[in-house]
Amino acid sequence: MNQDKTPCLLLMNDMHVSREDVAAFERNWAEALELCAERGIRQIALGGDLFQSRTAQTLDVLLAVHDALLAAHRAGIRVTLAEGNHDLVDQEALRGYCHVFDQHPNVAVVDDFLTLEDPAWDFALHMMSYFPEDGSFTSRLQALVMGGLAEGKLNYLYIHEGVNGALSTPAPQELPAHIFDRFDRVFAGHYHNRVVVPGTRIEYIGSSRQFNFGEDEEKGYTILCADGSAEFVRNRVNQRYRTLDVTAAEVDVPLFDRIDEMRDEGRCRIRVRVAASATDTVDKRRLLEAGAGKVEVLVQDAPTVQAPEEDVLEKYDSARLRHAYGEFCTARSIDQSLGMSYLKKIDSPCGI
């Protein structure tokens, strides 16, 4: 193996372009192209979920992707698109929305799997499109392995799937990690936060940008070098979502100043979560005026209302039900004859 640290390939995934955020997608893509120009990179591998909508794409979304791919072509950059679950109408189909662009001169679209390699690289990158974890993915992975991995090189895999161990709470139908043991390294999209599956060589490289307060800020691009090493480069151009956790006593001038400073750092939406007691007063309006985009007050010691034990344990037999229903109807001047006729059947065998 050589020690060539020349950047050769940029990985990114989960761009989720939609009609609501075309401008954000365009900033994201432009930054990726600028990074390629700075590092001399001539290939981008996009590992799934280029699109957001599973059912249809609007014209402005299709044109945004069309223009983005043409911009890459003008920059001399080849783009390989693997499809994610959001890029497919039929999750088991070989063709999805990305195939609309497979005739662009600089674009290749992955059907089930495709391998990127170069004589100058110490690795081969095997890309797979999404197939259901409890469907055909495992058999397609086996077909890739049985077809022969690259000899004398590191074999890397780039997928868009859920793997058990990546989330603190496992999701249904996640894949077991051991099925990827034949690969020297596995890069994954699908889950948006960067994480390494414990005890494995499987790593989620994070979405290309942050989408909400539930995600961390470690979003951006993974660069592979010719020797197989990898580098993460953080997204700088898209809006970030930051959360400040404070107590009610801390909602004061220093907090307002801190919000101002955070906003001055760049594109940033701020959520303030205030831990308060039932007797605390939190001035939400003042926080919003200071620049917070969202304010949540979490009452820590709210009293719990408990029903009297006798109400919980009281048995409602047929007689009690008719009595309660009669009181309800009388209070509201409702004719109770029809309802009573049904309630009386409770005492009859089989409700006859």
| 18-23 contact pairs (CB < 8 A, 24+) | 18/51, 18/52, 18/53, 18/61, 19/58, 19/60, 19/61, 22/60, 22/61, 22/64
Distance of CA 143 to CAs 37, 39, 269, Å?
36, 35, 45
Residue at which a domain ends, from 234, 261, 281: 234
The 10 Å Cβ neighbour count of residue 148 is 8
Residue with token string 């008719």 = 322
Residue 228 lies in a domain: yes
Residue 285 lies in a domain: yes
Q: Is 211 in the same domain as 339?
A: no
Q: Is 223 in the same domain as 347?
A: no
Q: Is 293 in the same domain as 319?
A: no
Helix (H, G, I), strand (E, B) or coil at 47: strand
64 phi and psi, to 5 degrees?
-65, -45
Tens digit of each residue's pLDDT (9 = 90 or more) over 132-154: 999 999 999 999 999 989 999 99
Residue 131 lies in a domain: yes
Tens digit of each residue's pLDDT (9 = 90 or more) over 150-172: 999 999 999 999 999 999 888 88
Q: Say which CATH number the domain at 143 has.
A: 3.60.21.10
Tens digit of each residue's pLDDT (9 = 90 or more) over 214-261: 899 999 999 999 999 999 999 999 988 989 999 988 888 888 888 888
Q: Sign of torsion, CA 141 146 150 152? A: positive
Residue 304 lies in a domain: no
Residue 257 lies in a domain: yes
C-alpha 87/C-alpha 116 separation (Å) is 21
Tens digit of each residue's pLDDT (9 = 90 or more) over 173-195: 999 999 999 999 999 999 999 99
Domain limits at 315? 309-351
Q: Is 223 in the same domain as 245?
A: no
Using the CB atoms, write b or e for 322-343: b if 16+ within 10 Å.
beebeeeeeeeeeebeeeeeeb
Task: Locate 323 and state its tokens.
Answer: 């009595």
Q: Is 255 in the same domain as 224?
A: no
Residue 2 lies in a domain: no
Residue at which a domain ends, from 299, 321, 343: 299
C-alpha 128/C-alpha 310 separation (Å) is 61
Helix (H, G, I), strand (E, B) or coil at 174: coil
Greatest mean pLDDT range, 64-68, 305-309, 318-322: 64-68
C-alpha 198/C-alpha 195 separation (Å) is 9
Q: Is 143 in the same domain as 252?
A: no
Q: Is 294 in the same domain as 316?
A: no
Between residues 209 and 313, the one the model is more confident about: 209
Q: Is 319 in the same domain as 200?
A: no
Q: Is 134 in the same domain as 219?
A: yes
Domains identified in the chain, total number: 3
Q: Is 178 in the same domain as 292?
A: no
Residue at which a domain ends, from 181, 211, 234: 234
Residue 1 lies in a domain: no
Q: Is 226 in the same domain as 246?
A: no
